[in-house]
Amino acid sequence: MSDVVTYNREGAIGVITVNYPPVNALSHAVRTGIQGAIQQGRDDADAKALLIVCDGRTFIAGADIREFGKPMQEPGLPEVVNFIEATDKPVVAAIHGTALGGGLEVALGCHYRVAVPSAKVGLPEVKLGLLPGAGGTQRLPRLTGAQKALEMITSGEFVAAKDAAQLGIVDELADNDDVKAAGLAFAQKVVDEGKPVRRVSEQNDKLEAEKGSDVFDKFREGLKKKARGLLAPFKCTDAVEAAFTSASFEEGMKRERELFGDLMDSDQRAGLIHAFFAEREVSKVPGLPKDTPVREIKTVGVIGAGTMGGGIAMNFANAGIPVTIAEVKQEALDKGLSIIRKNYEATAKKGRITPEQVEERMSLIDGTLTYDDFKDKDLVIEAVFESMDLKKKIFSELDEKCKPGAILASNTSTLDIDEIASATKRPEDVIGLHFFSPANVMKLLEIVRGEKTSDEVKATGMALAKKIKKVGVLVGNCNGFVGNRMLHKRGAEAMALVDHGASPQQVDKVLTDFGFPMGQFAMGDLAGIDIGHSIREERRKAGEDVPPSWMDKLVEKGRLGQKTMAGTYKYEEGNRKPIPDPEVDQIIADFRKEQGIEPREISDQEILERCMYVMVNEGAKILDEGIADRSLDIDITWIYGYGFPAYRGGPMFWADQIGLDKILDAVKKYHKEVGGKQWEPSPLLEKLVAENKKFGDL
């Protein structure tokens, strides 16, 4: 008898209970335990039906991802599911929480399924670069038909219990969330009504109905745009199609196994699994004890009702936290509040929230023209423009007005948190909360610790990120912190590549082909290229030697980006699609002449290496300086802050896959050819290569 799966009989029902926290994942012990318990149930003559139910928060949430990449130990999950199904007495699954992946496949191997109202089911393997590998691609379409099965399996989205019942995935919806009672009652009903053993693998009517249909080719067409660059959604489609084209269930299972193996061996699976665990690890900060006290954030103040301030405020209203926005002028405040309302109404129009929720959230947001209204706030976040003088002035006022223990945060994207904190008498309560635009959408929150920020305030920042459904990454204080510091290096390389012969569209295409949602220059147009221009002008005024740039010429011509329908690209009315502009090519050509630069042909490979390796080299320096604690912090920053393709695992994981020796050679090459501090090889990178180690080994 295993200690994670038990068998005991309750009346005429043989009850198989899985108890393997935290999510009853199908580890080797669980698979063995289920098989053994099913055998016990088969041998128990007094058991007229069997019930599989789970202790804890959820029904089985899938295969044990921690076992991936290790040699698989028998029994494999497909065999266990087939073993359940082959039982000659009815087997019932009682579902609560989230029955996902292999968990749903176990339930599909049962003859009946009952779910509590709050349960959800899904096959999210595709999000891990995989496909349901224990019969899900063969059994689900037998219940739902091709289209629904394709949608569920290639999206990985969860389906609520009531929808699952409508789709025929679940046979009955319980009246309440007592899953054990629901399971026993349903199993007893099966016995009382003499319901037969009903094997999903033998139900072929839905397959017959759609044999030879063009649903698969049509579906693949739709995938081309949605799943650009991804392997798994296409293999999922092939596997579901095999259910309709194979001569038997067994043949379809064989095909599913082949396709699963292809994906298991892919770099994309490795990248996505790394991203899955990294997203969870990132909230466990080394050196910050798990039991560090956390301050309760019940009311929030935001300074600035602009794009960032408004978006930031929405995050708190969305989480049910009242928030007051301060502005200097009433019309700025009114404008900001009306934009927030418009954003909510647009979301409601898409059906993502109800009109009542719009009103509910708007009722949680109010405005003020004085910081006096911040005296009871637990947290105040400043989101004004990037002027250190202004920020210091604001923080010294907040220091006076806010209650002791209130946390004072800045949304600055590059400025020195310690200098801002020095304007207060409470530097231990000062922290950076760097949101990414649009702040109510982008999931990343860089939580910037100052020299004096207390552990309690750091822990509160991390907890707050979870509360407002952000992915919080604790980072150190330097220019650009983690994300923007690396982005600035990529941006400078992209500019230099265009100076010397590449076009903006060529650079952007290399980056979008790599998997970024937008290229460097298209992203600049979205944010507004006047921002970079004013930062360069400020640095020139401060006496820094900032070289001229063709982008300054664009700004001087009033080409600020999307907001003026022209920046590095031009734009058509109501369309955000960047269109290369011959006028810009001419401006760049003239600029090269002025600078005496003879343009040359630049390969896509050089563009990729210079844009990506410069970031890896900077990431290594960031690690070396302790600005990021782990390489996974950098990976998560880039996946959730800048759309780095998760299937590549993030910049540092991707570098490990490429091989750090290869990257170091290229860094040394560009250090010779291009020069500049950004190409000085990171000592950490050199050390790892010398020791034949990876970033992931740190």
Strands (E) located in 358-485: 365-368, 379-382, 407-410, 430-435, 444-449, 471-475
Part in contact with ligand T1G (CB under 6 A); list of ranges 57-65, 545-553, 562-570, 584-592: 57-65
Which of 13, 34, 52, 63 touches ligand T1G (CB under 6 A)?
63
Which of 132, 271, 301, 681 touches ligand T1G (CB under 6 A)?
132
Q: Is 66 an interacting residue with respect to ligand T1G (CB under 6 A)?
A: yes
53 within 8 A of 17, measured Cβ to Cβ: yes
Burial class of 74 by CB neighbour count within 10 A (0 to 12, 13 to 18, 19+): exposed
Part in contact with ligand T1G (CB under 6 A); list of ranges 121-129, 234-242, 300-308, 485-493: 121-129
CB nearer to ligand T1G: give 280 or 329: 280
CB nearer to ligand T1G: give 280 or 687: 280
Q: Choosing from 125, 382, 446, 618, which is the catalytic residue? A: 125
Which of 15, 64, 482, 660 touches ligand T1G (CB under 6 A)?
64
Q: Is 125 a catalytic residue?
A: yes
Which of 18, 61, 326, 402 touches ligand T1G (CB under 6 A)?
61
Q: How far is the CB of 86 from ligand T1G (least distance, A)?
A: 18
CA nearest to 230, candidates 610, 646, 663: 646
Q: Is 62 an interacting residue with respect to ligand T1G (CB under 6 A)?
A: yes
Which of 4, 116, 130, 498 touches ligand T1G (CB under 6 A)?
130
Site string for ligand T1G, 545-584 (x = CB under 6 A): ----------------------------------------
What is the Cα–Cα distance from 489 to 679, expressed in whole angstroms? Answer: 10
**DSSP code for 60:** -
| Buried-state track 77-89, b at ≥16 Cβ within 10 A, e below 16 | bbebbbbbbebeb
Q: Is 256 an interacting residue with respect to ligand T1G (CB under 6 A)?
A: no
Which of 5, 77, 232, 494 touches ligand T1G (CB under 6 A)?
77
Site string for ligand T1G, 266-285 (x = CB under 6 A): --------------x-----
Name which of residues 136 to 155 contact ligand T1G (CB under 6 A). Answer: 136
What is the Cα–Cα distance from 507 to 605, expressed in whole angstroms? Answer: 10
Q: Is 133 an interacting residue with respect to ligand T1G (CB under 6 A)?
A: yes
Determine how many CB atoms are found less than 10 A away from the CB of residue 390.
Answer: 12
Token pair of 498, please?
């265009």
Part in contact with ligand T1G (CB under 6 A); list of ranges 125-133, 139-147, 344-352, 398-406: 125-133
End-to-end CA distance of the chain: 40
CB nearer to ligand T1G: give 23 or 207: 23
What is the Cα–Cα distance from 70 to 429, expressed in whole angstroms? Answer: 45
Q: Is 428 a catalytic residue?
A: no
What is the Cα–Cα distance from 562 to 544, expressed in whole angstroms? Answer: 29
Determine how many CB atoms are found less than 10 A away from the CB of residue 437.
Answer: 13
Q: Is 375 an interacting residue with respect to ligand T1G (CB under 6 A)?
A: no
Q: How far is the CB of 650 from ligand T1G (least distance, A)?
A: 17
* Long-range pairs of 168-171 with CB within 8 A, sequence gap ≥ 24: 168/143, 168/144, 169/104, 169/108, 169/113, 169/121, 169/140, 169/143, 169/144, 170/95, 170/113, 170/114, 170/115, 170/121, 171/112, 171/113, 171/114
Active-site residue list: 105, 125
Which residues contact ligand T1G by CB under 6 A? 22-23, 25, 61-66, 77, 98, 100-102, 105, 124-125, 128, 130, 132-134, 136, 280
